[in-house]
Amino acid sequence: MDRNDRRQLALWLFICSAMVFAILVVGGVTRLTHSGLSIVEWQPIVGVVPPLNQAEWNETFEKYKKTPEYQKVNHQMALDEFKGIFFWEYWHRVLGRLIGVVFLLPFLYFWLRRKIAPPLIPKLLGIFLLGGLQGAMGWYMVKSGLVDDPRVSQFRLTAHLSLAFLLFISMMWVALGLLVERHRETASAALRKLQRTGFLLAVLSFYTVITGGFVAGIRAGKAYNTFPLMNGHILPPESFIIDPWYLNFFNNMALVQFDHRLGAWLLALLVPWFFLQIRAADVSSRARLAATLLLAALAIQISLGIATLLLAVPVALGAAHQGGSMLVFAALIWLNHELRVARTSLATA
């Protein structure tokens, strides 16, 4: 591939990454407004068209009335109120389909024009399959809330969230690889240490995302709305009241929120230290910029998390906090990539 082809492919993947970020934020609003169970059918093609007249709206509303959420929670809801929650879930699903189209059609174009190097094709196909799995997991998650309990499974919600992050990570990493040429070089011991630390911070960040998924799934953010302690405790005494003990990590509001806070505290301590290590090391200017952006993104994200907690998860702050987690990850991906490549960039060549 020539440089122009690589830039085009990278731009396409960055656009897809931005769309995944957008659907994450819209998904956060959908969850926080309790809109996710408003559409009770999975219709990938005809579902793109919303109800267009009063008869179609009445039919859609009648289907919702048969769900546990309507019968147990929203039995006083009128049609106009239903339309409000319907459209959040509708746009969430439409955006998911749009991401698939924006990925698939340019991929076919680039492939037919022979602009994709053969080793890159399996990676792009893997990303496409991951996106399909993400959509299927979304419907599998919704189905869990249409049976008896009008709440989706926290396990399925966390899987749905985790797959979104894996999709974002994959797109970003491949796009960065297209912009920056990689050469076989022997890294110094100091650089290898930075690489390992960057990877471990990415793992820790992903742990924080997963625990955040469980916080959202059992609505643990509505409890222990104090900071820095949890109602006067570092670890609340009721953190292990469920038997068997391991279920507390997934079902106990106290322990689930503590686990999420633990990840945030560790990042708050380790990222500034890592930033100083990067500033003192012989790394590229882009790596230093990425470290600076990571520190700034984390500071904003932690501030959003504290505000969201203290105010008992208002919709705007909750959605911003969910989006902020992906911005932190974007900076981490860039930094990890910069620590593993040579310093000749196609973007500046």
Q: What DSSP string runs through 94-150? A: HHHHHHHHHHHHHHHHHHHTT-S-GGGHHHHHHHHHHHHHHHHHHHHHHHHTSSSSS
Angstrom distance (rounded) from CA 213 to CA 24: 12
Is 321 marked within a binding site? Answer: yes
What value, to the nearest 5°, has the Cα angle with vertex 123 and ends 120 and 124? 85
Is 260 marked within a binding site? Answer: yes
Angstrom distance (rounded) from CA 151 to CA 163: 20
CB proximity list for 83: less than 8 A, separation 6 or greater:
57
- Provide the residue type at 137 as one letter: M
Angstrom distance (rounded) from CA 271 to CA 285: 18
Secondary structure string (H, E, C) spanning 198-235: HHHHHHHHHHHHHHHHHHHHCCHHHCCCCCCCECCECC
Q: Is residue 209 packed enough to be buried (19+ CB in 10 Å), middle (13-18) or exposed (0-12)?
A: buried
Angstrom distance (rounded) from CA 139 to CA 142: 5
Secondary structure of residue 180 in the 3-state scheme = strand
Q: Which residues are annotated as a binding site for heme?
A: 260, 321
Q: Which residues are annotated as a binding site?
A: 260, 321
